[in-house]
Amino acid sequence: MVEEIGKTAEGDLIINVGPQHPATHGVLHLVITLNGETIKKVEPHLGYIHRSIEKMCESLTYRQFIYSTSRMDYLSAHINNHACALTVEKGLGVEIPARAQVIRVLMDELTRIASHELWWGAMAMDLGAFTPFFHAFRERESINDIMEETCGARLTMNYMVPGGVMVDLHPNFQNRVKSFLKLYKQKIHEYDELVTGNIIFQNRMKGVGILSKEAAISYGVTGPAARGSGVSCDIRKLYPYEIYNTLDFEEVLETAGDSYARYLVRLREMNESIKIIEQLIDNIPEGDFQAKTKAVLKLPKGEFYQRVETARGELGVYIVSEGGTTPYRIKFRSPGFSNLSCLDHITRGGKIGDLIASMGTLDLVIPDIDR
């Protein structure tokens, strides 16, 4: 049976998983070839939510195009905006005030926690446990409230602008974040009790969807998915931006490379984000929240590339400028796109249930893949 895997034969069952399917969390379309319950091949078909953001950005100014990136990876909209703002700032050579840097990092980490919370709930739901989803949303909701108060939006914040952040923090911000931290610490043990320690869950995850270190590098997998395979790829550590080099946090690494390792990485990453927030929340420096920039931004001729660590991995923004007010060419290297490319590799030979578990731990956000 094993040598047949990868080849299709007559009598194989070909199933369309998606574009409307409960486990694909969006409009991902997978064509899977099955032999009984065993997966022989997984082929992703993309483009159901392709909006050609890259083309749209070519006719938007450097202030405008940032907003369209919130719609890519909507779960880490902040971090997408951050990457774009950083790229434009790199081109302009603007110095960002210290307060703005701290606010940005705080917001990034809150977004990361919110994103991982949602992933945790959704992944447990993929495995058939419905309850964790609601428990995750309990904490995520309080982050959304914090976002709403300061940024005015709960999902697509559009809070980062070239030069800093759009408005100053809400006076309530620190208190709310502190009460969130308190809530989180009270509740985080429930996550382990409800899901991590469950014997069925562990059997579903351990040894499933194994991604070796070499394969992870070769497929360009980044973020928690790659760190579960032991690839050190946290941009915050490797190529620090903003004030990440002054902060005390660890890059979470696991070596097993299976779904369970990826799961553990994300859970522990939430704790690292909490650590970062705790370091910063009482030390927000006074001062401007935005550097003085011109009303119409013009980037010099050249190419600018900036990458950040989103909740899903490495997001790169590549701007080619001809010196005008709009980018000549813009490319978003989205983490989901590369993470998806390894799906076939890690699921071949597994069962349908394994496909769902592996897909859950890759944490795919479809608009991020299609852009």
Partner 1 sequence: MFSLESLTTLVQDWLNKTFPPTIALLFEFVIVGVLAIALFAALGLVLVIMERKVAAWIQIRLGPNRVGPKGMFQSAADTVKLIMKEGLTPDGADKFLFNLAPFIVMMVAMLVLAPIGFAKGFHIWDINIGVLYVSAISSVSVIGILMAGWASNNKYSLLGAMRSGAQMVSYELSVGLSVLSIIVLTGSLNINDIVLSQQTGWWIFKAHIPAIISFVIFIIAVTAETNRAPFDLSEAESELTAGFHTEYSGMKFALFFLAEYINIFIVCAIGATLFLGGWMPFHIGNWESFNHIMDYIPSFLWFFGKTFFLIFLIMWFRWTFPRLRVDQLLNLEWKYLLPISMVNLILMTLIAIKGWHF
Partner 2 sequence: MLNEEIKTIISELLPNASFEETGEWLNIGIEASNWKESANTLRYCEAKPFNFLFCLTCVDWKTHFTMVYHLRSTTTLDNIVVKIKLDREKPEIITVSDMWLGAELFEREVYDLFGVIFLEHPDLRRLLLTDDWVGYPLRKDYEDPINMIKL
User: Does 56 interact with partner 2 (rule: CB under 8 A)?
Assistant: yes
User: Does 67 interact with partner 2 (rule: CB under 8 A)?
Assistant: no
Amino acid at 338: S
Span of 18-26, 86-94, 176-184, 273-281 interacting with partner 1 by CB under 8 A: 18-26
User: Does 7 interact with partner 2 (rule: CB under 8 A)?
Assistant: no
192 binds, among partner 2, partner 1, none (CB under 5 to 8 A by kind): none
User: Does 284 interact with partner 2 (rule: CB under 8 A)?
Assistant: no
User: Does 356 interact with partner 1 (rule: CB under 8 A)?
Assistant: yes
Q: Measured between alpha carbons, how far is 232 from 253 in angstroms, rounded to an integer?
A: 7
User: Does 362 interact with partner 1 (rule: CB under 8 A)?
Assistant: no
Closest C-alpha among 68, 63, 59 to residue 94: 63
Helix, strand, or coil here: 55?
helix
User: Does 128 interact with partner 1 (rule: CB under 8 A)?
Assistant: yes
Q: Kindly determine how many residues on this chain lie close enough to bind partner 1 according to the rule CB under 8 A.
A: 31
Q: Are 2 and 349 a contacting pair, CB within 8 Å?
A: yes
CA angle 17, 23, 24 (to 5 degrees): 65
Which residues in the 212-241 window bind partner 2 by CB under 8 A?
Answer: 215, 217-222, 231-233, 238-239
Q: Identify which of residues 122 and 153 has a Cβ nearer to partner 1 in the complex.
A: 122
238 binds, among partner 2, partner 1, none (CB under 5 to 8 A by kind): partner 2
User: Does 317 interact with partner 1 (rule: CB under 8 A)?
Assistant: no
User: Does 320 interact with partner 2 (rule: CB under 8 A)?
Assistant: yes
Q: Kindly determine how many residues on this chain lie close enough to bind partner 2 according to the rule CB under 8 A.
A: 43
CB within 8 Å of 60: residues ≥ 6 apart = 68, 326
Q: Dihedral of the CA atoms 35, 123, 67, 146 (nearest 10)?
A: 180
Span of 56-64, 107-115, 204-212, 265-273 interacting with partner 2 by CB under 8 A: 56-64
Span of 17-25, 44-52, 76-84, 274-282 interacting with partner 1 by CB under 8 A: 17-25
Pair of tokens at residue 300: 């010099």
Using a 10 angstrom Cβ sphere, with 0-12 exposed, 13-18 middle and 19 or more buried, the burial of residue 277 is buried
Alpha-helical runs (H) found in the chain: 53-57, 65-69, 77-92, 98-126, 131-151, 173-191, 199-205, 213-218, 224-227, 235-238, 259-281, 335-341, 343-347, 352-362, 366-370
Nearest approach, Cβ of 124 to partner 1 (angstroms)? Answer: 6
CA angle 330, 335, 341 (to 5 degrees): 110
Residues found near partner 1 in the complex (CB under 8 A):
13, 15, 21-23, 34, 37, 124-131, 133-135, 138, 194-195, 198, 200-201, 203-204, 351-354, 356
